[in-house]
Structure 1
């Protein structure tokens, strides 16, 4: 029952239902988010959830109105929208209160909802499984370091962003890799609590509620090990290569991977200057936040994506099918190229000390220089 579950709504009014559930003691809590395609000109909805962790999983929930592209409506906005909906449909399409039941069926979650005035409806949701094997296929034109390097220097800077991983795990944020899935609780409780205990240690005066300041603070949390809905990227293909290979030995059984994301094309279609992370449709936002309080951001040429989706790869693949274009590709290189790659990156000035400035970086650089076996 615990996890993130997503289902598509078909029929005359298409949309998505996203359910995020966490088990805490003898209770399961979380939120459901219903968003219709924007062409339908319908509001979104949030449904707070809380019920016993033993079957039957039944609860009553209240309807919270959201704007089409995210954000909670004021009572005044809700009253205005409800009047429009009544004129359009003769009654509200979603009642103020709903009864909801959840049933696990294998890898699926069956959601049933009803009220005194509305007939029961059901929808099957699929679990966002980030532990499954990645289905991305490596580019056949970038199978060696020489090919990747030549391709990288031929690209226009900032069109692509890159991510290096020592293993080909599916793309997922550090938040979604934990047992936690209710992003609303993370934003309302975690962030406020962490801001209170860290504000005196921040050299730059950040203010929660300011979107740019929120992004900067989330990045600080991310770079100091706290799980966030951010995923780290870089504008540099060579910094990404460093993170893919910095701990790889020539006989390593791991398969280093470099992700190549066409951020320019993605932003053209899905870019946002302002956003809501939780109370929003399924989304992936490219975020180049100010480096306040984060000395690693500039040398790493850091860029982040923020997402309310656990399985980011599946979400991008779905958008690629809808748009008939490719946004995400991968380059898988052989582990036995590690010595050559790391030697060239050092000549470029990309070392542990350069991407992690400070005493730790200096010591790691000296260790790599004096203790690494000569080949």
Structure 2
């Protein structure tokens, strides 16, 4: 894993879009996903395994969610992976982590919390083509069959219809990325996808530490955060767009008009 500290907006752009040229396509089409975090010391534990809180309750949480959720209007759920995506989307502790194909969406989440503006932030950049090399054969075969690099819920269901089967696909840890169904405009506008590992207690940052290629941590110093935030606002990468509706509008207005701390 490579760590890089960027000190200017230009350095940040170059680092985010590094290795994006695809010679085969003759286009800038990166195979990276991004996750922005407001504090450099925040790890990649999931809500399920953060401090070991809910690891043993994974099945109980998901079972109860599926039991009570039908009383709430929602898209049609056809598989376990659909249900996991829905649960993660609405804040249930799961083994999933939120990622995005958009480096600017990652920067939004790095700079959204103005209470942490005086802390260095971090953007994780992961090349899914590199992490795919450690996938067990059934999952690699599924990707090859579909001509894809990331999964959908439907593709995952064809290989593992439940978490127990998924966890038994390999004895070594691995991570894959999958695109959730278009549950709402928030998923779509955030260009979102999820990571998932083959065990509820596994930590993605611990897994990525051992990867020599395809993983970068970009450290964004606190001194650069306000410039990044202001330029994202000018580019219309805001809560109003990423969280459509009155809640997102209110979040944007509250942050946009709040005074900059001295």
Q: TM-score range by the shorter chain?
A: 0.7 to 0.9
| Secondary structure of the structure 1 residue equivalent to 2:13 | helix
Deviation, 1:268, is 4.4
In the alignment, the residues of structure 1 paired with residue 73 and residue 117 of structure 2 have an alpha-carbon distance, to the nearest angstrom, of: 42
Alpha-carbon distance in structure 2 between the residues aligned to 1:374 and 1:173: 31
Q: Find the counterpart in structure 2 of residue 234 from structure 1.
A: 100
Greater share of strand residues, 1 or 2? Answer: 1
Counterpart CA distance in 2 for 1:250 and 1:215 is: 33
Q: Could you list the runs of 5+ residues in structure 2 that have no partner in the other structure?
A: 21-27, 140-154
Match of 1:75 in 2: none
Aligned residue number for residue 200 of structure 1:
71
2:232 is matched with 345
* Other-structure match for 2:186: 296
Show the counterpart of 2:222. 335
Residue 305 of structure 1: how far off its partner (Å): 0.4
Name the counterpart of 1:306.
196
Structure 2 contact 117–226 (Cα < 8 Å) conserved: no
Indicate the residue corresponding to 1:181 in structure 2: 55
Runs of 4+ in structure 1 over 6 Å off: none
Larger Rg: 1
Instruction: After superposition, give the CA deviation of every residue in 1:105-133 in whole Å (9 maximum; x if it has no partner).
Output: xxxxxxxxxxxxxxxxxxxxxxxxxxxxx
Quick one: distance in 2 between partners of 1:233 and 1:174?
Answer: 14
Paired residues of 2:130 and 2:213 also in contact (CA < 8 A): no
Q: Secondary structure of 2:129's match?
A: helix
Q: Over the residues paired in the alignment, what is the CA RMSD in angstroms? A: 2.5
How far apart, in 1, do the equivalents of 2:108 and 2:117 lie?
17
CA 1:153/1:284 → structure 2, altered by over 3 Å: closer, same or farther? closer
What is the CA-CA distance between 1:153 and the residue it aligns to? 4.2
1:68-217 to 2 correspondence within 5 Å? 138-139=3-4, 142-153=6-17, 155=20, 156-167=28-39, 168-177=41-50, 178-182=52-56, 185-187=57-59, 189-207=60-78, 210=79, 214-217=80-83
Cα distance in 2 between the residues matched to 1:239 and 1:157: 17
List per-residue Cα deviations over 1:190-219 (Å, max 9, x = no partner): 222211211232431213xx3xxx223212
Q: Which residue number in structure 2 is paired with residue 317 of structure 1?
A: 209
- Give the TM-score taking structure 1 as reference length: 0.54
